Amino acid sequence: MNTRQVLRITAVGLLAAASAAVLGVVFVRDQMSRHRRDLFSTRPLRRLAALGYIAGASPTVDSVRLLRDYIAWEQQPLIRRQATQVLSKMERTLRENALASGGVAG
């Protein structure tokens, strides 16, 4: 194999890896958007599934705000209680992360 063929194979491999990464990012963003939308679905099972997805994601300030709005909106006591537990865990994690990085916890 000559140098030209090696460069071509390497370029194709890098292009394939970059394409896969871009598709992965697009897919994850779409899934997050869909699950956030389903959080306010009319179907309780979809809301519960979306809540489970959000609970497994890394906590962010936006997620905490979303869950606060959701808890105020949710009518089902069992789902609201689950959302409250997820919110408490997220707030605790964010507070611990802020303390660990030297930030101020509020």
Q: How confident is the model at residue 1 (pLDDT cuts 50, 70, 90)?
A: confident
Does residue 54 sit in the same domain as residue 79? yes
Question: What range defines the domain where residue 20 resides?
Answer: 1-30
Domain shared by 51 and 2, yes or no: no
The answer on 96 and 55 residing in a single domain is yes
Q: Are residues 61 and 99 in the same domain?
A: yes
Tell me: pLDDT of 5 over 80: yes
Number of structural domains found in the chain: 2
- CA distances (Å), 86 to each of 25, 44, 64, in order? 25, 17, 9
Are residues 19 and 45 located together in one domain of the fold?
no
Q: What would the pLDDT profile of 41-86 be if each residue is shown by its tens digit? A: 999 988 998 998 889 888 999 999 999 999 999 999 999 999 999 9
Mean per-residue pLDDT for 11-29? Answer: 86
Q: Based on the domain organization, do 20 and 55 belong to the same domain?
A: no
Q: State how far the alpha carbon of 90 is from the alpha carbons of 40, 63, 94, 101, in Å.
A: 19, 8, 6, 16
